[in-house]
Amino acid sequence: MLEDLIFCLNATVPIFFLMVLGYIFKITNVFSEDLTKGINSFVFKIALPTLVFKELAVSEVEELWDTGFIIFCFLATLGSIIIGLLIALVFKPKSIRPEFIQGSYRSSAALLGVGIATNIYGNAGMTPLMIIGAVPLYNIVAVIILTVGQGEGKITKALIKKTLWGVVTNPIIIGIFLGIIRGLIPHPLIFPKTINSISALATPLGLMALGASFEMKKAISKLGPTITATFFKLVGFTAIWLPVAIMMGYTKDRLIAILIMTGSPTTVSSFVMAKSMGYEGTTSAGIVMLTTILSAFTLTLWLYILKANALI
């Protein structure tokens, strides 16, 4: 399993270094506050939607299609969201609850999922179907909880209208929807190099903006929610859903996809979305950073357990 450890370290350590680089750019005044806000806006509105569009648009959707597996991914994600919602009720102030909830369930499915599956099997395996089952729900629920959180928990007609509008106009959700449709069209992408170039900016720019927005004092003051979310993101939800998947007969690339869905680090888009919707973002940044650091070890442990039991 040394190769798996090396791969996970190669996948996560550079990500952490990009965040550190962003923080260094901030304290050396390379990144001003206005520039950081502009980068966050670009990543949220352009780069991340282009990335999820590309991931789904180039997937062989028809050949891989497995309705039962997609439903499982959807229900497991929904179950994780409900658990996160219940746990969030213990935290105060209420304003950090939406950030805690989305930080506890949103995985780097597109960024790390395809890479890990390819490293093990030579292709993306069932990861694209996992993305279809889980990622739209990731983003729809994130928009809802972040919007409701701004309304201080009071459900009004105006808030419902605002939430629905936020869902249908969310750039990442639009990217997912267009990507699924494009994936069903049997023709090459138009301007693939341009799409690849824009999507390639999502991770480095998003991570550096995250680092530049990170405030150590505020993060330490919110250590409880950060550590709790990190535990469930890397260990808790995986311990719940992997045994269920195994009992249902899932093995190999399906288990790898489920592991990525439940146990990979929290996606940087959770921070980008929180900041873009008016939240402080400190809790989101802390969860992304801590899950990214620890995931190299937790993912390797999960892979070892699956391998030792001849499940992958």
Write the pLDDT tens digit of every residue in 84-116: 999 988 887 777 888 889 888 888 776 566 556
If pLDDT is split at 50, 70 and 90, which confidence band does 81 have? very high
pTM: 0.72
- Contacts within 8 Å (CB) and 24+ apart, 234-240: 234/263, 234/265, 234/291, 234/294, 234/295, 234/298, 234/299, 235/263, 235/298, 236/83, 237/76, 237/80, 237/83, 237/104, 237/105, 237/262, 237/263, 238/262, 238/263, 238/302, 240/79, 240/80
Residue ranges of domains in the chain: 2-307
Q: pLDDT per residue over 27-46, tens digit each?
A: 898 988 888 888 878 887 88
Q: pLDDT per residue over 109-133, tens digit each?
A: 765 665 566 666 655 566 767 877 8
The rounded mean pLDDT for the chain is 79
Mean pLDDT of 149-162: 65
Question: Does residue 209 contact residue 40 with C-beta atoms inside 8 Å?
Answer: yes
Please tell me the distance from the alpha carbon of residue 236 to that of residue 241, in angstroms, as a whole number.
9
Class of domain 2-307: mainly alpha
Confidence (pLDDT) at 83: 93
Question: Does residue 193 contact residue 54 with C-beta atoms inside 8 Å?
Answer: no
Instruction: Give the end-to-end CA distance of the chain in Å, rounded to a whole number.
Output: 12
**Is the CA virtual torsion 12, 13, 19, 22 positive or negative?**
negative
